[in-house]
Structure 1
Amino acid sequence: MAAYSVLLGCFMALLILLYTISSVARYYIKFTFFTIGCLIAATIPMPLMLLKPRHPDNALIPAWGCRQIAKIMGLTWEVRGAENIDNSKGSVVIMNHQSSLDLIVLAILWPLMSQSTVVSKRALFYLWPFGLAVWLWGTVFIDRGQKQQAQNVLSKNVEAIKNRKAKLLLFAEGTRNSGDKLLPFKKGAFHTAIDANCPIQPVVISKYYYLDSKNSQLNSGHFIVTILPQVSTEGVQKENIPELVDKCHSLMQETYTEISREVILSEGSHNLNSLKRNM
């Protein structure tokens, strides 16, 4: 036991040293901490989730845990446009997708949007026990490689949006993108919104300037989550979906550019003021 304690102490000391001197090590340590932390936050409440399987409220405790983990990692955020949320009716919520850190954004939105359901790739379900936990809070799994099958799964949620006033949360780009320009949007979300005769709620997350996956860097930082006014689908026909997609893409791109610029200017000003204080 004593030898084990010594080895554990040496290992922890090495991790602390690497975390201090290496940005690459800090990147992997932070992501490992984030992954394990979210796994623990999601699975510990599972016995309670079994009382109401597939109920959206099952995600509230994991969401709280995820937000605390993000704070420990040095991440801060601001939510704008919460007044644009209408919990008296269902909607399709579309977001831009940058990283697995978007899980934090879902954790932020969950308490704000009642009856929320996330759409995720099917492979996530097989990452047990996390996959079981996300199933228990109502996640909808789709196979993105099978377009028709994915659309059929989304169509099954039309009644939930209509009758249960559910919010169906999707990443509109369909894949991760950390560039300055949003990728073209997949049309499945728009088909579902028209079938459910519900509005589309665009949500824009500012660029994660503190994250550089190519160079393995993850620092402390700030991001903005902007909830835009709902876009009505009343009277929109399926043949008009391209125009609806373009409208939402344009709105979100404009906001993405604006709030991303605001964040980088704010971070630059903060760093400059810190430098001046230390001079």
Structure 2
Amino acid sequence: MESFRFGSFLRNRKLESYVCTSTGQTTELTAKLVAKMREAAESQLRRDVYVEDDGWLTVLVSWIRIVACFLCMMVTTFLWAVIMVLLIPWPYERIRQGNIYGHVTGRMLMWILGNPIKIEGKVYSQEKAIYICNHCSPIDVCLIMWLVPTGTVGIAKKEIIWYPLFGQLYVLANHLRIDRSNPVAAVESLKEAARAVVRNQLSLIIFPEGTRSKNGRLLPFKKGFIHLALQSKRPIVPIVFVGTHCAWRKGSLHIRPTPLTVKFLPPIRTDNWTAHRTDTYVELVHDLYIKHLPESQRPVLPEGATPTCGPK
């Protein structure tokens, strides 16, 4: 009996030793595997994500780019202002020349700024439509100038005429202005804009937020673009800007080489829309933006609220 117990004790000790050794080796292998996976993920993150650098050299390069943009824009604006004055009797030709100016100047400015740009859904950029886009950086204007099709007019606040050079060219190019301080006049301006778009077979570009976001997060949409769609029956083509708020922040003169993404989404038909569902349409389009924006650019929801659309 004693011999049997002693033998069982030895066998149990050997088994315990084997199990412990095996478990230790497995744990060690698992730890190594996890470490390698983490290292690979961090390496991929470093390749994919822009790491901000505010050293003196990058700031200097940024200032040089801004000065170069300003000088080049002065030259092209002056040249096209002369062309616009000569074309005053021909309003539609001034719109066309304004678009050509935007294509040349916008592309040139983006080349000078040097941000890597990825464009998705460009097949939708040639529609006769109401183009809308989120607005959180001066770069948005450069991209719009470059990417909207010929035959597109903008709509902006009437004070834009006081912007040096650019404001005067905006008016010469026969783009539209509204008086936002007078709601009645603003509504009439939108109606006239819709009639002009249909009458001259034009497209329209508008920022539905009505102002520029300070932190890149999407602001609530105003209803003006819905009223334009209802009256013109033009489809709405959403343009989603990702990363522009990091590349050129509001109130800053530091341009960062952040990668940018421009997404043209499929046109939204409006020919069967009705006026009594205006709020529903605003929410529908706003939710579409939330779906296609990264988490850092989505609006901050009130405590306890839930998003109406899922993550991308």
Deviation of 1:105 (Å): 1.2
Match of 1:137 in 2: 173
Which residue number in structure 2 is paired with residue 118 of structure 1?
154
Name the one with the larger strand percent: 1
Residue 174 of structure 2 aligns to a residue whose secondary structure is coil
> Among 102, 114, 120, which residue is 1:74 paired with?
114
Q: Which amino acid aligns with 2:158?
A: R
Q: Number of paired residues?
A: 239
| Backbone CA RMSD of aligned residues | 2.8
Conserved 8 A contact 1:204-1:252 = yes
1:119-198 residue pairs with structure 2 within 5 A? Answer: 119-179=155-215, 181-198=217-234
**Closer/same/farther in 2, CA of residues 257 and 70 from structure 1, 3 Å limit:** same
Aligned CA distance change for structure 1 residues 38 and 245 (closer, same or farther; 3 Å): same
CA contact (8 A) 2:106 2:144 kept: no
Per-residue deviation, 1:49: 2.1
Question: In the alignment, is the contact (CA less than 8 A) between 1:206 and 1:259 conserved in 2?
Answer: no
Structure 2 counterpart of 1:226, from 263, 271, 291: 263
Q: Distance in 1 between matches of 2:212 and 2:181?
A: 15
- Number of the residue aligned with 2:307: none
SS of 2:123's partner is helix
CA distance in 1, matches of 2:254, 2:165: 28
C-alpha distance in 2 between matches for 1:61 and 1:103:
13
State the alpha-carbon separation in 2 of the partners of residues 259 and 80 from structure 1: 20
Q: Given that residues 135 and 212 in structure 2 are in contact (C-alpha distance below 8 angstroms), is that contact kept between their aligned partners in structure 1?
A: yes
CA contact (8 A) 1:170 1:189 kept: yes
Q: Percent identity?
A: 22
Whether the aligned pair in 2 keeps the contact of 1:41 and 1:66 (CA below 8 Å) is no
Supply the distance in 2 between the matched residues of 1:215 and 1:185 (Cα, whole angstroms). 25
Mapped to 2, the partners of 1:213 and 1:158 lie a distance apart of 31
Q: TM-score, normalised by structure 1?
A: 0.75
Q: Is the 8 A contact 1:120 1:142 kept in 2?
A: yes
Deviation of 1:234 (Å): 2.2
Unpaired runs of at least 5, structure 2: 1-53, 299-312
User: If you compute each CA radius of gyration, which structure gives the higher value, 1 or 2?
Assistant: 2
